[in-house]
Every structure is written in C-alpha cells, then in structure tokens.
Amino acid sequence: MWQPLYEEAGIATFPVDAERKSPSVGNYLRAGMHASREWAKKFSDANALGFNCGKRNGLTVLDIDAADENLLADSLNKFGPSPIIIKTASGKFHVWYSHNGEGRKIRPEKHVPIDILGGGYAVAPPSAAGSGQYRFIEGSLNDLGRLR
C-alpha cells in the first residue's frame, strides 16, 4: 500500500480508476490526510492512486503527453531541471516541481503536447493502467524536499 508513504511525504492521495484516469471518489480536490487514510482502507484493492496538484499538496506537474525523450529534454531545458521524473503507464512523462502559484494550463502552446498541472490532479506511481505502470525514472518521494 503506497498511501502511507505518500502521507509520510506530505501528499494526500485518493484512489483512481487508472483505465479511465478518473478518481474513484467524490470531493477528491478538497481531500486532506484524514480522507486519504479512510479511502486507502475502503479501497485497499485499488491499483492506482492520484493526488491533487497545486497548493494543497505543494506540487505542480508538467504533463508531457508524448512518449518523446527529446520533448522531455527540451521541456527540462525550458522549465528547469527536476529531481523527480515519472514515466506514465503509456510511456509518456510527468515532471514534478514545487508549486509556485501556477494554475492549470492545458496546452499553453497549442502545438506542443504539454500541460501544466498547477491544479486538478495527477496519477501517481506505482499506479497500474492497462499493461503499464507509472514509475519513478528519476528520484523518489524522498526527493520532494529538493523540488524547485
């Protein structure tokens, strides 16, 4: 069970239906640690979890909607390095940053498949979806204190 590890790192989580990429509970955007613990008990068989991006958990996620390592490298050059990079179940990328007031911006550059998630939610490792799994390819929850 990963919820206690995320809680220890200061991140409230909720169960997710990874196939549909949708939360399995209501009011997840307002959830704190108490709700996170209760949902972990109630959905103990869930194979995916998510967390709120933004102020509540202190995280902004750069969501790169392409399985393109060159786009990942270009994004890191543009937005800055991060000690935490996730490969999604479909082979795409999430880059975690400290939340600095960013909002949720879907495709801020129309022809570049990148979203900035300073609001909304993201699916978290080690969630399983289809034949893949979200996984840390750089860093871990232990690196949250190093985010900029």
Phi, psi of 36 (to 5 degrees): -60, -45
- The 3-state DSSP composition of the chain as helix, strand, coil percent (nearest 5) reads 25, 30, 45
Share of the chain above pLDDT 90, in %: 93
Q: Is the pLDDT of residue 19 over 80?
A: no
pLDDT value at residue 20: 83
Q: Which tokens belong to 26?
A: 């209501």
Alpha-carbon distance 75 to 51, whole Å?
A: 22
Q: Specify the pTM.
A: 0.95
pLDDT value at residue 88: 96
For residue 29, the 8-state DSSP code is G
